[in-house]
Each structure stands twice: as C-alpha cells, then as structure tokens.
Amino acid sequence: MMVEGKMNPLAKWALVLLGLLSLILNIVLIGIHSSRAPKCSRERIHPLRGRHDDRTLVFADLTREEYMKVQQYLLKQKDLAISTSQITKPSENFLFLIELSLPKKAEVLAYLDEKGTKPVREATAVVFHGAKGYIKEYVVGPLDNPTYHRDVTKERYQVDVPINARPVTIGEYVLVFRFFETEIFSKLEKLLRESFGVDKKKTLNAFEQMPRGVRSGDRKTWVSFFRDMSGMYIHPVGFEILLNHESLNMSQWRIEKLFYNGKYFDSVEELQRAYDNGSVKKIVYKESPDYGSLKPRSKPLQIGPQQFYSEGARYSVSNNHVLYLDWSFAFGLSSLTGMKVFDVRFKGERIAYELSVQEAMSVYGSVTPGMIITKFLDSSIGIGRFAHELVRGVDCPYQATYVDTYRYIDAPLPVRFRNSICIFEHNMGQPLRRHFADFFHNNFGGMANSALVFRTITAIGNYDYMWDFIFYQSGSVEVKVHATGYISSSYLLPGSKTHGHQVAENVLGNIHTHFINFKVDLDILGE
C-alpha cells in the first residue's frame, strides 16, 4: 500500500502489461503442450521391434477351405463309405474329427531356419468305422489339394483301436435320450412326478459320469439326473442309472442298475414295485430356490476400472503369429488338447519350440454310484472343442484382440467359433521389480509390469477353465489355469458328508482333485 502510493503511472502500466504477457504466454504454452499429451489411440505410435513371419503358418490350424477339402476327399473314397451326417448311427461309419497333423520338428526347424524346404501340410482325420468295428486315424494330404490318405493308427497307437473306445457322438446321444424316454420316463411316470415334479412341461436333465466302465471294451455309463434349472449341476435329485450301451445296435442297450434315494435296483420294474409297496423311502418333490442362477445378485454401482493402450497396442497379431516387444510366437488350438504356441522367441532367440495344454483331469469321491469312480479326462471329450466365444469386457479386456477359430469335430461341416482366442497386454497390478534404497543412497528404481496374455476358455460340462499363457518383459513365460463355472454335486444322503460338504439343501459338493498337464519343449541354446 505504501509502495503503491509512491509508484509512478508508467511503472504501473508496465507491470500490468507484463502480467498480461505472462498470461498469454502461459495459455499458448499450455495449449502447445496439451496437444502433445498422449491421447487414447488404436494407432501404434512407435514401430514394433520384430517382424511377422509367414513361415509360422506351418503351425496354423486348418482353414475352413482346408477342412472342406479333406472332407470332400474322404467322401470320394467309396471304400471308406463315410457319412458326415450329425445323426450317423453307431453302426455306421462317421467322420468324427479333422485336425492339423503337425510336421516333424526337425523338418519344421530346418524350414524356419532357412535350411530346408516347406514341410507338406497334412491333416489327421479320425473315422469311427461302426460298420467294421474299429476306429481309424488317417493322415490326409497335401491340404491345398488332397491326393492321398494313409492309415496311421498302428504307427501312432501300436494297437488296433476298437470301436467301443470312441467318445459318445451327438448321433449316439440322440439315441441315448430316445432310449431314456421309452425305457425310463414313460415307465416311471408316477415316481418321477411325485419325486421330481416331472410332467409334460418339466423334465430332468442328464449328466454322465466317466469312465464308462473299468475294463477295456466296457461301455456302461452312470447317468445322474438333475433339475432342469440354471446351474443344473448343483440341483441333483437323487436318481441315477447305469446304461449299458456297448452294442452298436440300440435295441440291445439296457439299464443295468438304478439308484433312487440311496438304494440300488436291478431294473425299472423292481424300482417301481418297491416304490409302490412302500419298501423304499420316497423323495417328495418340492420346488428348490433358484440358487444356481447366472443372473447378477445386485446392480453394479458404476462401471469398473478400464485399461487403454494410450499410444496404441505394443503387440501385433497377423494370421497365427504374435509379436510383442521382444517376444514372438505362433499359435494354434487343437480340438482335443486345447491351446498351443510354437517357436517362442525372446529377442529373436528361440527358447521354446512348443508350449501347450495337454490334459485336464478331475477325480471325484462319493457314496453315490455315479461319482464313486468318476474320473474325467477332458481331452477325451475335447478341450479346444469347447473354446467358446470370449465376452468383451468380462473374459478379456474391451481392447483385447479377438481371434476366430475353425474346428471340425462331431459336426457335418467345419464350424467357426467367433472370438474364441483373445490376446492383450495388461498391467499385472504389481511392479516387475522395485527397490527403494534407504541406506547410504537415497534412490528408487522400479519397472511397471505389463505382460502379454494369450487366452482361451474351455466351457466343458460344469466347469469353465480359463487358460492363460503370459509373456513377461523379463523373458519369463507363465502358464496359468483358472477354474470357474459350477462345482459337480450329488444328492445328499446319510453318510455322504465323508465325501464333501453340504452346499444347499440335499446337495453335496463332492470332494475332488484337479490335475492339469502342459507340454513344454524348451530349446535353450540349441535344441
């Protein structure tokens, strides 16, 4: 105040002008700067470190056209007398599976390392020769125009494979359900209505157990029945049957055992008599709450956190080849064994020839007959076969890259599975390394940990396995499986709590163990 009083008008104006100038300069500088600030962009700002390599197409699964060529070629072989109809009977010849037949590693390495020619592209075709009583595996090639097929069954398995070793096809399931309708549902109407509320509108769902017997050649399946509700796997009703479907002739199938409310019966008629004369304790139907529903139990508060590639993705996918920072690899998806990657390189150096899912086994314990011996070997049903669509924003981040796959298994034509593989880079939520030096030096060093995730799911029966191969900037690879979906359960009976825990009224979540097998073929400093 005192200074102002003494200031001359010229100095005052100069000060105001200076203030104005500084304001303008600030606005201009902020303007220039903010236009340079990163914006979310799908475009990549910095070039990738590596290059895509078409040679990795040797690992690629068959295209739709290639599946069709193999199918058409096999149909032309009149001596094989193959059917491709989905409802082919067990007694007929059915083209069950077509898959890539991988060339030998030595040939592939020679080709990749520019010392050899391109290996011939071939497929494996599996035919269930119901009319002849055996299963055959053929190699068919070359894929651009098939001209030969070769029986490789003996070479690959050392034995002849009998027809009863085949998995149940959709064609056989159609017959199984028809058999249940005539042999169980229409004969036990009263029991099923009074015990389980079965009527014209309401039915029971079947869930089968494995293995189908204990000796080679057996084909006897325990089938447990569940309420027809969302999450049926946790709505068991206490009714199970043993179906003998060894014969290729459905007229010779039979129900060998029935299990109702903890008691065994040798025939439908015996159960019916026991039910009517009161010698078996009846299960009395009552509605059960919809606890297995997939609907959210509450409204989300607001949208959750999201991640964005603010300077574009640091990875690239071209055909079946992925580049990511110092990494590169090729990928595929087997209908039987699941996802696989090949020629995994870090800084240009191959560190693994193959990394793949091989098997998912679950072994159960129970006092109920179905689950007493249950041991699921999922590759026998198909792990990659059930790699269904990944849901954007739920199964993988919104901005992930989604890849379609084509498969030919138990179907009349190749089938496209939209968005069944996803690839994304993600912050892993913890630094890869960090240190704060407290003693002697005061400094900090840390590295943000984002990694590339290669993912598929297997929604097989009650379970959903989420498979991840994760590529870290440190040069390490992680394989990871996350199990979700529903547990398997059985009807709660006296004594059954030694084999699990009660999870709902009359429902036991059964004790079990998961075993997961991966294959890794490391090539460190050479083969």
Ligand X SMILES: *[C@@H]1O[C@H](CO)[C@@H](O)[C@H](O)[C@H]1NC(C)=O
Contact predicate 346/327, CB 8 Å:
yes
Q: Which stretch binds ligand X (CB under 6 A): 39-47, 115-123, 270-278, 283-291?
A: 270-278
- Give the separation between CA 393 and CA 304, rounded to whole angstroms: 10
Over the window 217 to 256, marking each residue x when it contacts ligand X by CB under 6 A and - when it does not, the resulting string is --------------------------------x-xx----
Write out the two tokens for 3.
């200074």
Compare residues 147 and 182 and give the one whose CB is closer to ligand X.
182
Q: Does 165 bind ligand X (CB under 6 A)?
A: no
Q: Which residues of 214-230 are buried (b: 16+ CB within 10 A; e: fewer)?
A: eeeeebbbbbbbbbebe
| Active site positions, annotated | 378, 463
Query: Computed from CA positions of residues 380, 383, 388, 394, in that sequence, does the dihedral angle turn out positive or negative?
Result: positive
Cα separation of the two ends of the chain: 85
Query: Computed from CA positions of residues 233, 235, 241, 245, in that sequence, does the dihedral angle turn out positive or negative?
Result: negative
- Give the separation between CA 190 and CA 197, rounded to whole angstroms: 10
Shortest approach of ligand X to residue 227 CB, angstroms?
A: 27
Q: What phi and psi, each to the nearest 5 degrees, are found at residue 41?
A: -145, 140
Q: Does 175 bind ligand X (CB under 6 A)?
A: no
Query: How far, in whole angstroms, is CA 9 from its chain's centroid?
Result: 81
- Give the separation between CA 50 and CA 251, rounded to whole angstroms: 62
Bridge partners for 354 per DSSP: 342, 521
- Give the separation between CA 271 and CA 253, rounded to whole angstroms: 19
Compare residues 270 and 478 and give the one whose CB is closer to ligand X.
270
- Give the separation between CA 83 and CA 95, rounded to whole angstroms: 6
Q: According to CB under 6 A, which one of 199, 270, 290, 478 is a site residue for ligand X? A: 270
Shortest approach of ligand X to residue 110 CB, angstroms?
A: 52
Residues 26-85 binding ligand X (CB under 6 A) are: none
Compare residues 117 and 279 and give the one whose CB is closer to ligand X.
279
> Based on the number of CB atoms within 10 Å of its own CB, is 148 exposed (0-12), middle (13-18) or buried (19 or more)?
exposed
In angstroms, the Cα distances linking 20 to 13, 15, 23, 447 are 11, 9, 5, 43
Shortest approach of ligand X to residue 281 CB, angstroms?
A: 13
Going by the DSSP 8-state scheme, the letter that residue 41 receives in this structure is -
Compare residues 35 and 277 and give the one whose CB is closer to ligand X.
277
Compare residues 265 and 471 and give the one whose CB is closer to ligand X.
265
Chain length of the chain: 527
Going by the DSSP 8-state scheme, the letter that residue 144 receives in this structure is T
Q: Which amino acid is at 373?
A: I
Shortest approach of ligand X to residue 179 CB, angstroms?
A: 13
Q: Which amino acid is at 497?
A: K
Compare residues 274 and 377 and give the one whose CB is closer to ligand X.
274
Shortest approach of ligand X to residue 174 CB, angstroms?
A: 17
Residue 353: CB atoms within 10 Å: 18
Compare residues 216 and 279 and give the one whose CB is closer to ligand X.
279
Shortest approach of ligand X to residue 288 CB, angstroms?
A: 29
Shortest approach of ligand X to residue 266 CB, angstroms?
A: 9
Q: Which residues of 85-98 are buried (b: 16+ CB within 10 A; e: fewer)?
A: eeebbbebbbbbbb
Single out the residue of 317, 292, 342, 300 nearest to residue 477, CA to CA.
Answer: 342
Relative to beta strand 122-129, strand 93-101 is antiparallel
Shortest approach of ligand X to residue 195 CB, angstroms?
A: 17
Three-state SS string over 343-365 comes to: EEEECCEEEEEEEEEEEEEEEEC
Q: Number of residues in contact with ligand X, rule: CB under 6 A?
A: 8
Residues 273-292 binding ligand X (CB under 6 A) are: 273-274, 277, 279
Over the window 326 to 365, marking each residue x when it contacts ligand X by CB under 6 A and - when it does not, the resulting string is ----------------------------------------
Q: Which amino acid is at 120?
A: V
Contact predicate 99/336, CB 8 Å:
yes
Single out the residue of 487, 354, 324 nearest to residue 59, CA to CA.
Answer: 354
Compare residues 113 and 266 and give the one whose CB is closer to ligand X.
266
Compare residues 249 and 474 and give the one whose CB is closer to ligand X.
249
Compare residues 273 and 418 and give the one whose CB is closer to ligand X.
273
- Give the separation between CA 31 and CA 36, rounded to whole angstroms: 9
Q: Which residues bind ligand X (CB under 6 A)?
A: 249, 251-252, 270, 273-274, 277, 279
